[in-house]
């Protein structure tokens, strides 16, 4: 199994990195995050023009048909540069579900708008119980006449405040289903906030929200949801691995230039060992990422594989982040340095779609079965 990028994949990665180096350095990113919207519509338009929103979408659905390895190639630089725009929420969550609704003209129209950057979507899936199992959803949808009524509460809806379309996951007849909901619909209450890593998210309540019959996007949606969750977890883990790589590089450079007692602190055995541990953790996380991406390329991934990826990335990422901050000392936690922000991005990604502890429990349950 080849774990290296092809020439085309490396060119894709290099072009994304060059764009971010040119237009999205840390200072520029901080200005964006501290702005009124918390993200840049201009950057979003440029991501769309580069074809990155359409990259993971199948060609038959109007996308570019990029695979898991291509996703890794672009998501690692996203993580290293702390991209605040809702890429995963749209390209990896909303778009795959719209594409799965084959033959649905409304879904096709929305998909075209999302991948072109014309419209923003948001997935209302998380409910605070930290799971990547759609069967654990508590939000309920009931049939009423020719339509539906939804009741429940969703948390950590990335990009929810600015979304033109909400895709809401709810149980219908005891099976997971996906509904399209207008953010302005009666009974929808949205509370916007900033996550620990600077992204915008929302908690959304649905109180007896009445929907027409054509709002049902996907019925018996377990398989479509699981495929979407796997893709989203791959993207989040790739972002985290990219952030780990940036932390390792910055920490090594700092240790070589910061002096104590007249010598670089990298020459101290304790610091050298910490840097070595960071390198081992990063290499292990990236090797796991590329291996699982290669499995997904051939459709051979299992629940065990995805649990290993998400669980290991969260655990190893936390270790790398803590080691980076410890090596930098107090300056590592300041707002002016990217080290603390990269650590927060890793923690935030770990918390989404089931944290490392949840996925390690999944591994234990699978081993005991």
Quick: pLDDT tens for 131-180: 888 989 999 999 999 999 999 999 999 999 999 999 999 999 999 999 99
pLDDT tens string 310-325:
999 999 999 999 999 9
Q: What pLDDT, on the 0 to 100 scale, is given for residue 61?
A: 94
Tell me if residue 347 falls in helix, strand or coil: helix
Going 7 to 12 to 18 to 21, the CA torsion angle's sign is: negative
Positions of the chain with pLDDT lower than 70, given as ranges: 1-2
Give backbone dihedrals phi and psi of 110, rounded to 5 degrees, phi first.
-65, -40
Rounded to two decimals, the pTM is: 0.96
DSSP 8-state secondary structure symbol assigned to residue 94: I
- Chain-centroid distance of CA 181 in Å reads 22
Query: Comparing C-alpha atoms, which of 244, 286, 278 is closest to residue 4?
Result: 286
Q: What pLDDT, on the 0 to 100 scale, is given for residue 253?
A: 96
Q: What pLDDT, on the 0 to 100 scale, is given for residue 1?
A: 63
Q: What pLDDT, on the 0 to 100 scale, is given for residue 170?
A: 98
Q: What pLDDT, on the 0 to 100 scale, is given for residue 101?
A: 96
DSSP letters for 36-80: SSSS-HHHHHHHHHTTTTTTTS-GGGTS----HHHHHHHHHHHHH
Q: What pLDDT, on the 0 to 100 scale, is given for residue 27?
A: 97
- Chain-centroid distance of CA 20 in Å reads 18
Q: What domains lie within the chain, and their CATH numbers?
A: 7-115 (1.10.540.10), 121-221 (2.40.110.10), 223-368 (1.20.140.10)
299 phi-psi bin (left φ>0, alpha ψ -120 to 50, beta other) = left
């Amino acid at each position: 199994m080849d774990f290296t990028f092809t020439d085309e994949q490396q060119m894709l990665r290099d072009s994304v990195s060059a764009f971010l180096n040119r237009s999205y350095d840390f200072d520029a990113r901080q200005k964006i995050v501290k702005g009124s919207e918390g993200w840049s519509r201009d950057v979003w338009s440029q991501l769309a023009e580069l074809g990155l929103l359409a990259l993971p979408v199948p060609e038959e659905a109007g996308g570019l048909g990029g695979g898991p390895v291509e996703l890794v190639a672009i998501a690692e630089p996203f993580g290293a540069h702390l991209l605040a725009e809702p890429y995963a929420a749209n390209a990896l969550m909303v778009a795959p579900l719209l594409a799965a609704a084959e033959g649905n003209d409304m879904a096709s129209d929305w998909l075209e708008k999302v991948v072109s950057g014309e419209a923003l979507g948001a997935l209302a899936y998380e409910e605070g119980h930290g799971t990547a199992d759609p069967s654990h959803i508590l939000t309920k949808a009931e049939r009423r006449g020719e339509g539906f009524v939804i009741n429940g509460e969703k948390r950590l809806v990335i990009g929810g405040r600015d979304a033109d379309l909400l895709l809401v996951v709810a149980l219908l007849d005891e099976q997971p289903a996906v509904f399209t909901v207008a953010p302005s619909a009666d009974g929808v209450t949205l509370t916007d906030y900033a996550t620990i890593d600077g992204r915008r998210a929302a908690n959304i309540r649905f109180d007896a929200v009445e929907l027409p019959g054509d709002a049902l996007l996907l019925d018996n949606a377990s398989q479509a949801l699981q495929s979407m969750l796997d893709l989203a977890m791959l993207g989040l883990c790739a972002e985290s691995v990219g952030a780990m790589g940036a932390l390792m590089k910055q920490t090594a450079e700092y240790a070589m230039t910061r002096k104590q007692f007249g010598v670089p602190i990298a020459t101290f055995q304790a610091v050298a060992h910490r840097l070595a541990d960071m390198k081992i953790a990063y290499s292990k996380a990236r090797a796991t990422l590329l291996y699982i991406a290669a499995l997904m390329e051939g459709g051979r991934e299992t629940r065990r594989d995805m649990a290993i990826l998400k669980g290991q990335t969260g655990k190893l990422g936390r270790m790398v982040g803590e080691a980076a901050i410890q090596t930098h000392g107090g300056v590592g936690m300041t707002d002016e340095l990217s080290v603390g922000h990269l650590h927060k991005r890793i923690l935030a990604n770990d918390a989404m779609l089931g944290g490392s502890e949840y996925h390690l429990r999944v591994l234990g349950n699978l081993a005991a079965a």
